[in-house]
Structure 1
Amino acid sequence: MRFSNFILKNVRRRPLRSILTVIAVALGVGAVVSLVGIATGFKQSFMNLYGEVGIDLLVIKGRVGRQLESGIPESMNDRILAIPGVVSAIPGVGDVISFPDDDLYMVVVNGWVPESEVFDHLTLLDGRFITKQDHRKLNLGTVLANNLDKKVGDTLEVYDGELFEIVGIFDSFSVLESGAMVMPMHELQPLIGREEQVLGISVITEDGSDAALVKRIREDIEALEKGIVARPAREHIDGLTEIQLASSMAWLTSAIALVIGGVGVMNTMIMSVQERTREIGVLRAIGWRRSRVVKMILAEAMVLGIVGAAVGIGGAIALVRLLTKLPAVSGLIEGDIPLYVVGYGVLLALLVGLVGGLFPALIASRMTPTAALRQE
């Protein structure tokens, strides 16, 4: 019998125990792939968004824990535009609101300057985009419009007693925008107590690939007023407290699940070694070396890990895609999990199998033929 077939036969000999072990590993791997995949996808959505618009620098208030709690003078926009090398400066404000009756609790409200280039990457599906002359008008992303069951011409109570007419439905490559709404910046500012203030200013330079130019503009912007920082998009996103917290919690939760999976593999393999003491003794008696016994036990553990990885990854992909169908989160998460996160899951499953099988393998390898046969 080939060694590989011998390994598979051993795994199948105790199907219930093997299935329970696979489930334990699958839960750990599934937690990694789903939770880390969602956190990573959320971060990547921001990166793609800024990259598509061509934003080179983001001007914000420094040393602020949450971006929505920051604020810089709106007048900074004209001062930034006056800096040589700056092509465009786009101010903006934002807020997060809820629609409990529709099971929506994290709806982003964007306050943008109408008729500016920030709308260029959006695809208008129905109606029109908001204009500078509009009053109490807004645009809805297609995902949010579907979740709210709204169409062009309908009204929406964004804040208590504040009704807005929907004049356009748009789509975006980013689910974060498709699940959001856009209203004129000057109308959102008083509603959130930000008169003459903006949360940030997006800066487009003459040549974003010119590191020296971007660095010089960055220094000029930060010299305009104390406490103002200008960061490249990636640096800004990496520093967001919300993203850091989501990523940390995802890995922490996954680590706990992986430990449980590892303990499950170790328990299964220890029980297997104890039940197969005579068998291992016979193998040693017919000439199997200790290293071969170790390879056998580790291989069995790795098989359980690989099968658990396959089940866990499949379940994670199905779970994330199911979540995108739920109104509460459909406008916040992508349906696709990055391929490298799937790779993390496979590697961690192999590691769980290796670690979980190492101790039982060492126990098995130390058995002498006479002692093993005498125990039976």
Structure 2
Amino acid sequence: MMTYAFKAIKANRLKTSLIILSLIFSITSIFLITSISNGVISMYSSMLKSDGDIIITQKNISDTFFSNIDINLIEKINSLDEVIKTSALIVGASMVEDLPIVAVYGVSENRFKNYELVTGKYPKQGEVLLGKSIYESLKNHNEILISNEKFRVSGVFESSIGFENGGAVLTISDASKIFNKSASMIMVNSKIDTDIEKLVNKINIFDKNIEAKSTTNFVDNYNQFKIIKTSSNVISFISFCMGLLTIASILSITINQRKSEFGIKRALGISMNKIVIQIINEALILGFFSFFIALGISKSVLYFIKNSSFLHGYVNGEISLEISVFILFTTLSISILGSIFPALNASKTDPMILIQGDKI
């Protein structure tokens, strides 16, 4: 069966090329949309998970950028026996020199160790620590303007998290003045074997305007992650449907041009089931071939995006095994569904009509 499928593919090179191009376009779109959206979620969740078992934000906020909680809450939290360490973080975005938007982090002093120094030292008041990516794109490496405030560059750090590597880190007091807030969130590190949910309940009692959650629970239920995932799924589904319609149309034309071939095979006693299986085999071969080409193209595009100085690491995507298996399954589904409908349509036609060349 596979031998006949390969021969048929070679015999219809123009249509085969069109099908492959359509598949590659659809698969690459799904790869990029899925991997980039997952990359954004992975980067931000990694940053949140890097320091703390519990995350505290303002209650009923849609995004951490809008959260504002009293940093003095740390004193009360530290009084709990289960707590080892608490740290505060302000997240925001601002214009930096000629760059229209840069991630800015205000952090408490005990969180500076999360940023691995390449050169220099951690910032004091009036100073800024720059991510390597953003540092390399600036003309002035000694002083920068953040929201019309001048800061001296104290050092450079490197991070595997794109958001951080392309960002600027300030003392939390300096960030507080820029963004007019006390803290965006507080991270709590607890002792081993602590009942996290009980600790969460204790913390929530301190202030009716805060919401404490375990870090895992926070990441799993973060509204922005849900929006990104939903948007990604919708766009991927549209790409899937476009690919399916295009391939089904091309295969319908191809099968219509091969009607005499199918008619002769039917007249020779070859069952239509075998012919349909042959067409599906052709589609599967094209699907596998297109998948690996699209995988190579997607990895090249993602590498360029990751290392683009223009994007400063804010956009990143990793093609995991899970994503690859999902997209391979999607590719084969597109190929089979796109081929099976015109094949079944041909199977219902009388062999004599097929040989005579009437429309299917």
TM-score range, shorter chain: over 0.9
CA deviations 1:156-180 (Å, max 9, x no partner) are 00112x1100011111232221111
Q: Call closer, same or farther: CA 1:100–1:123 in 2, change over 3 Å.
A: closer
- 2:103 is the counterpart of 1:108: yes
Q: Call closer, same or farther: CA 1:189–1:142 in 2, change over 3 Å.
A: same
Unpaired runs of 5+ residues, structure 1, are: none
Q: Call closer, same or farther: CA 1:66–1:48 in 2, change over 3 Å.
A: closer
Q: Call closer, same or farther: CA 1:328–1:169 in 2, change over 3 Å.
A: same
- 2:331 is the counterpart of 1:349: yes
Which residue of 232, 248, 259 corresponds with 1:277?
A: 259
Residues 93, 102 of structure 2: 8 Å contact kept: yes
Quote the Cα distance in structure 1 between the aligned partners of 2:205 and 2:327: 46
Matched with 2:153 is 166
- Indicate the SS of the match to 2:206: coil
Residues 18, 250 of structure 2: 8 Å contact kept: no
Matched with 1:143 is 133
After the TM superposition, which residues 265-344 of structure 1 pair with which residues of structure 2 at under 5 Å, given as runs? 265-334=247-316, 336-344=318-326
Matched with 1:96 is 93
Matched with 2:186 is 201
Residues 56, 204 of structure 1: 8 Å contact kept: yes
Matched with 1:258 is 240
Give the counterpart letter for 2:37 in structure 1: A
Unpaired runs of 5+ residues, structure 2, are: none
Give the TM-score of the pair, scaled to structure 2: 0.93
Quote the Cα distance in structure 1 between the aligned partners of 2:310 and 2:201: 41
Q: Call closer, same or farther: CA 1:354–1:193 in 2, change over 3 Å.
A: same
Quote the Cα distance in structure 2 between the aligned partners of 1:364 and 1:100: 65
Matched with 2:221 is 239
- Indicate the SS of the match to 2:57: strand
Matched with 1:73 is 70
Which residue of 145, 167, 179 corresponds with 1:157?
A: 145
- Indicate the SS of the match to 2:189: strand
- Indicate the SS of the match to 1:140: strand
The farther-off stretch of 75-84 and 347-356 is 75-84
Residues 64, 91 of structure 2: 8 Å contact kept: no
Give the count of matched residue pairs.
358
- 2:125 is the counterpart of 1:128: no
- 2:348 is the counterpart of 1:363: no
Residues 27, 294 of structure 2: 8 Å contact kept: yes
Quote the Cα distance in structure 1 between the aligned partners of 2:177 and 2:45: 29
Residues 313, 345 of structure 1: 8 Å contact kept: no
Residues 55, 188 of structure 2: 8 Å contact kept: yes
> C-alpha displacement at 1:100, in angstroms?
7.3
Q: Call closer, same or farther: CA 1:335–1:369 in 2, change over 3 Å.
A: closer
Residues 96, 147 of structure 2: 8 Å contact kept: no
Give the TM-score of the pair, scaled to structure 1: 0.89
> C-alpha displacement at 1:99, in angstroms?
4.2
Matched with 1:83 is 80
RMSD across aligned positions (CA): 1.9
Residues 17, 268 of structure 1: 8 Å contact kept: yes
Which residue of 165, 173, 179 corresponds with 1:186?
A: 173
CA deviations 1:236-281 (Å, max 9, x no partner) are 2233333322222222222222211111211121112211111101
Which residue of 106, 112, 129 corresponds with 1:119?
A: 112
Q: Call closer, same or farther: CA 1:128–1:79 in 2, change over 3 Å.
A: same
Which residue of 45, 48, 56 corresponds with 1:47?
A: 45
Give percent identity, aligned residues only: 18
Residues 323, 330 of structure 1: 8 Å contact kept: no
Quote the Cα distance in structure 2 between the aligned partners of 1:127 and 1:321: 29
Residues 291, 328 of structure 2: 8 Å contact kept: yes
Q: Call closer, same or farther: CA 1:106–1:258 in 2, change over 3 Å.
A: farther
Residues 96, 145 of structure 2: 8 Å contact kept: no
> C-alpha displacement at 1:149, in angstroms?
4.4
The farther-off stretch of 245-254 and 262-271 is 245-254
